[in-house]
A and B are shown apart, each in its own frame.
Chain A
Amino acid sequence: MSSLAAVLAQAAPGLTAGPAAAAPTPTITVPDIEWTALLPILVLGLGAVLLLTLTSLARGTVTRSGYAIYTVLVATGAMATAAPLWGRVHAWDHLGKWELSPPYGPFSAVAGAIGVDGFSVFITLLIGVAVILGALLADDYLRREGIDGPEYYVLLLLSATGGVIMAMANDLIVLFLGLETLSIAVYVLAAIHLKRVQSQEAGLKYFVLGGFSSAFFLYGVAMVYGATGSTNLVQIKDLLAVKVPTHNALLLIGLGLMLVGLGFKVAAVPFHSWSPDVYDGAPSPVAAFMASGVKAAGFAGLTRAFLLGFGQFASDWQPVLYFLAAASMLVGAIVGITQTNVKRALAYSSINHAGFMLMALQAASPKGVTGLLFYLATYTFMTVGSFGIATLAGRTGDGHHDLADYRGFSRTNPALAGLFVLFLLGQSGFPLTSGFVAKFGSIAAAVDAGSWHLAVIGMVSAAISAFIYLRIIVAMYMAESDTEAAEKAPKAARIKVPFGAGLALVACALATIGFGILPNGLNRVAGEAEPVLVKEPVPAAASGADGAGLTGLDLTTIPTTPTTR
């Protein structure tokens, strides 16, 4: 299945380039392919295929931790190829010593199928980070569980490929390709723990429900195509700008179905029911990647499809997102506090966080996108950190996730317990952690857009969900001397922290504190990562920044003059 996905990933640009190019121009020409724009996708995808090929040819010759190191290198490479794109999007004339070639400003490539703007580059970098952290966490875990091998890393890279395709998609079909590449790999990842029946169950559950949601999405795309005659977001947007179908049921149904598909991926209520089971059953590092990378890709898809493509229809989808956000925040918090399994509790808290991100998104404003990206970036570190602790605390068998298993954790593993407290406080939105600034940005966007009631709901849910985190902290720190109960309950034993996981945890902790105390830098970067739809592959430097932008939503325009940094 994995190699199939790899082929899909490779084929994606080529497949979609043809028809998308044919529509706007009268003569059928093979579009110029802007290879540099595709580099992040290519590096990730080829990296996966190469790993699979090499290891199947020469099995057993890989040194300890070789796969993880390879994966980290590939992800770093993908991020490195994305960095010049960021520079070009922001019209820097050079990055370090490198001259950056024009065109400057956001552009689209492969005949309008792929859009490169600040947003897509930001998400690409974020997914790269999630892959690196996921690989670091998994390294020792897979060996510990006796399932070491290249498969995990291949699938991780492939799903990241899909995620990056989603982040760059300017065409609904490309978006779907990305979604499927991402999903199929993650279905297998969820089931990769062969010795654990819950993992198999989680994989199957995720696969069946995910297959449905993908079908919903595809059906929605078909509906939208029927209503507008195109799957290209730029063309759809242009069409809607000229004539707005006021009572177009086809289009609205299409939008609704697409929302179901993407809402499933980000685990928004009421499409969330899979996530506690899957997060619990899936291997902990996989759960970490699902909560970070997959979620980022899902939100990228939501942003591109709805905010960019159907910005004019904001008044139609905003109320729906409003509902999804409110429901996600409340259900995530309220059901979360009843959980006695730490991974399930984290899953519900993840649903709660998805609500906060949806709240930022439903503002449909530049501030909202900034808030969303900041939230995604900081949440990636917090959630990977939390699941990272769970990875270690689960011990061999990955089964020790009950609250009772965490009793006395602060005594036996003071450092891990301290880090866990940090990640939990971050998730609860405690000041001086990045989670607080993230929540603040999300609320600010909502209030600015006039939906302060949603902000109130969100903060009430934050207060409720604080109890989720408090319960874990209580179990770790305060339950030890509860005489009899403590003696009966299994005590957490000392855990040896492997290097890779330790590195990942420290990085997550530094990010959680760092972005909490000094959020300025990340906030500015997130602010510059605007999603923009650009009409066509730009032929000359002159029209470098002819971005259509979110004009309907009155976004600020991109600076067009080259600046030196």
Chain B
Amino acid sequence: MSALLLASEAAGHAAESLGFPLLPALVLIPLVGALVILCIPAERDDTIRLVAVLTAIAAGATSIVLLTQFATGEPGFQFQSSATWIESLDIKLALGVDGISLFLVVLTGILFPISLLATKPDHNPKGYYFWLTALEVGCLGVFLALDLFAFFVFFELTLVPLYMLIGKWGHGRRVYAATKFFLFTMVGSVLMLVSIVAVAFAAKAGDGGTVTFDLVKIATSGRVPTGWAGALMFFGFVVAFAVKTPVFPFHTWLPDAHTEAPTAGSVDLAGVLLKLGTYGFLRFALYLFPVQAHDFAPVLLTLGVAGIIYGGAVAAMQKNLKRIVAYSSVAHMGFVVVGLFALNPQAIIGAILVMVNHGITTGALFVLLGFLYSRRHTYELSELRGIQKSAPVFAGIFTLVMLASVGLPGLNGFPGEFLVLLGTFIAHRWWAVVAAGGVIIAALYLLWAYQRVFHGTPDDANARFPDLRFSERAVMVPLILLIVGLGVYPKPLIDRMEPSVRALIVHIEEANPGWVAPTSEHGNDLSPVVVPAAASGGHEGEAEPGAGAHTATAEEGR
């Protein structure tokens, strides 16, 4: 705990030396951009597009600057800045970034310009670019906010833009999908608001026992309630994030929203917005409620594993390409949840890696699906076949991205999933074993879909499928570089995450006396576990424990 405090002081020092308020700038750039777009007359759609793209690029560039200026090895929050918002409740607009949020910020910064460049809206461009830019404000704000109130504001702020994007520029049953998305998320987040208020008033963590909404102060006050009240507050947060992530039983809005959303909406939804939920788990559920996170970890692990298997199984049954990718997101998010609640450094680092890399690969997949839709105006598998012959470049890029999504070693999907499975295996062996099955299912449904769309003899419509244009290839280049680069060499990411993650683990250990995070360093984990024969028979009924474990590691090692 004290380590965290010290670290944040040191980080504050680092930020001062820079002298430029990077984080407020990150939030303000898209905000100003959105307002500028609002002021441009609707007829001048080229200007509007230019402003939107430039805004997104400027925000992306700022996030890259942030990445270069970030002090590796610091566990605490850096570049902190805050301004008073509501005096009487000590609510501040406090921003800060640490190893956990850094790459999500950068991911947001990179994905938004790509999603903007990849497609154009078919009508009313002004509204479209306004809402997309406004969406970026909310996303960046969520990853940077260090005040519970400010976090909630940004968290909710993402709702209306995406609602409008899906509802106005989506396909098919867009109004249904948009409304479902809005109401699901809203129901989840209203309970979080009560929890936020409750935890702030219960902790009274301000200087002199006043109410404050400062995340670090509340988390380190040691007065976050435990027992019944604490559990209720914890679940207030968990439900909100579980809906947003989405965790298995709360996922039903996602396939609809994904399927009906316009391409840019899908890219940002899958790439960034789903991470709001998982990031929330990490930043709020684990950091704010370490006791409850430890106590209820098995519940969430189970839901995560269920999501992996269920998402994969349902994805394999889909007849619509976008729905397949949507359900694969459910499965991937399952990996993230499992990794987070395994509560050890490997798994959590793995989970963050999965978050970032899922953003890149799924973002890329949706961009590709957008290209496909703009040519064929369908996502139905039955209408697509043999595209490999008419569009080899498209097929090639699709193969690469798809294999990254499957988790092929050497591509960026692999390191994260591997670390999650490794860490989970140490902490909760059987959950890891089942989760590893999800990797196989992922290969199954994606390869099967690939086969149906790209192989075979094309009919007329598919034979005339034009290959990617230069601009479209150019959009894909940064994504491909990231997919290969982060797959081969993820170490720079891990180096920057690790101190923050370890500090978080220490925080959880301090809050749970007598509990030590199950890592191999402590030497208490990989020692052979004697599993009673009865238990092994009752669990899976298919393999004896040793063999199951082997399968898992062998699968990953390949």
Contacts and interface: CB of A to CB of B under 8 A. Distances in A.
B187 A520 contact: no
Interface string A423-459: 0010000111000110110011001100010011001
A292 B430 CA distance: 60
A479 B167 CA distance: 10
B182 interface: yes
B201 A467 contact: no
Contact of A430 (B85, B156, B164): B156
Contact of A444 (B153, B183, B197): B197
Contacts of B182: 466, 470
B471 interface: no
10 contacts: A431-B156, A432-B157, A440-B149, A470-B163, A470-B179, A478-B167, A478-B178, A523-B87, A523-B88, A527-B88
A520 B193 CA distance: 19
Interface string B220-262: 0000000000000000000000000000000000000000000
Interface string B66-96: 0000000000000000001111110000000
B168 A478 contact: yes
Interface string B144-161: 000001001110110110
B325 to A, nearest CB: 24
A463 interface: yes
A128 interface: no
B174 A447 contact: no
Nearest to B189: A463
Given A430-B160, A466-B186, A470-B182, A443 B193 contact: yes
A519 interface: yes
B58 interface: no
A436 B175 contact: no
B187 A524 contact: no
A439 B87 CA distance: 17
B506 interface: no
B187 A460 contact: yes
A431 B168 contact: no
Interface in B109-167: 149, 152-154, 156-157, 159-160, 163-164, 167
Interface in B187-236: 187, 190-191, 193-194, 197-198, 201
A436 B160 CA distance: 14
Contacts of A523: 86-88
A474 interface: yes
A448 B153 CA distance: 21
A523 B88 CA distance: 8
Contact of A447 (B85, B191, B194): B194
Nearest to A449: B201
B194 A459 contact: yes
Contacts of A447: 194, 197-198, 201
B153 A436 contact: yes
A43 interface: no
A463 B157 contact: no
Interface string A248-262: 000000000000000
B87 A463 contact: no
A432 B178 CA distance: 21
A460 B87 CA distance: 27
Contacts of B167: 474, 477-478
A463 B186 contact: yes
A524 B179 CA distance: 36
Interface string B15-30: 0000000000000000
Contacts, number: 83
Give the interface SS of chain B, mostly helix, strand, loop or mixed. helix
A462 interface: yes
A444 B201 contact: yes
Contacts of A455: 194, 197-198
A443 B197 contact: yes
Given A432-B157, A466-B186, A519-B86, A478 B194 contact: no
Nearest to A526: B88
Instruction: Name A's interface SS.
Output: helix
B197 A431 contact: no
A474 B175 contact: yes
Contacts of B174: 478
A443 B190 CA distance: 11
Contacts of B194: 443, 447, 452, 455-456, 459
B160 A462 contact: no
Interface of A: 370, 425, 430-432, 436-437, 439-440, 443-444, 447-448, 452, 455-456, 459-460, 462-463, 466-467, 470, 474, 477-479, 519-520, 523-524, 527
- Residue of A370, A431, A462, A524 with most partner-chain B CB within 10 A: A431
Contact of A524 (B87, B154, B156): B87
Contacts of B190: 459-460, 462-463
What interface size band does chain B fall in?
20 to 34
Contacts of A519: 85-86
Contact of B153 (A432, A463, A477, A527): A432
A454 to B, nearest CB: 10
Contacts of B178: 478
A448 B160 contact: no
A443 B88 CA distance: 15
B86 A437 contact: yes
A35 to B, nearest CB: 35
A527 B86 CA distance: 12
B257 to A, nearest CB: 14
Contacts of B160: 425, 430
A479 B176 CA distance: 11
Contact of B89 (A430, A444, A474): A444
Nearest to B159: A430
A493 B174 CA distance: 25
A459 B157 contact: no
Given A452-B198, A477-B168, A523-B88, A466 B183 contact: yes
A474 B85 CA distance: 33
Nearest to B193: A459
Contacts of A524: 87-88
A440 B187 CA distance: 16
A463 B152 contact: no
Contact of B86 (A456, A462, A478, A520): A520
B193 to A, nearest CB: 6
Given A455-B197, A470-B182, 9 more contacts: A430-B156, A430-B160, A436-B153, A444-B89, A455-B198, A456-B194, A460-B190, A470-B183, A478-B178
Contacts of B175: 474, 478-479
Contacts of B156: 430-431, 436
Interface string B40-84: 000000000000000000000000000000000000000000001
Interface in B372-418: none
Nearest to A518: B85
Contacts of A470: 163, 179, 182-183
Contacts of A425: 160
Q: Please name the 10 residue pairs, one residue from A and one from B, whose CB atoms are nearest each other, closest first.
A: A459-B190, A431-B153, A463-B187, A431-B156, A463-B186, A447-B197, A463-B190, A478-B167, A455-B194, A478-B175
Contacts of A466: 182-183, 186
A527 B87 CA distance: 11
Contacts of A467: 179, 183
B86 A431 contact: no
Contacts of B84: 520
Q: Which of B86, B87, B163, B190 has the most CB of A within 10 A?
A: B190
Contacts of A436: 153, 156
A378 to B, nearest CB: 13
A14 B159 CA distance: 56
Given A443-B197, A452-B198, A456-B191, A431 B152 contact: yes
* A440, A448, A460 — most chain B CB neighbours (10 Å): A440
Nearest to B188: A463
Contacts of A463: 183, 186-187, 190
A522 B382 CA distance: 60
Contacts of B85: 519-520
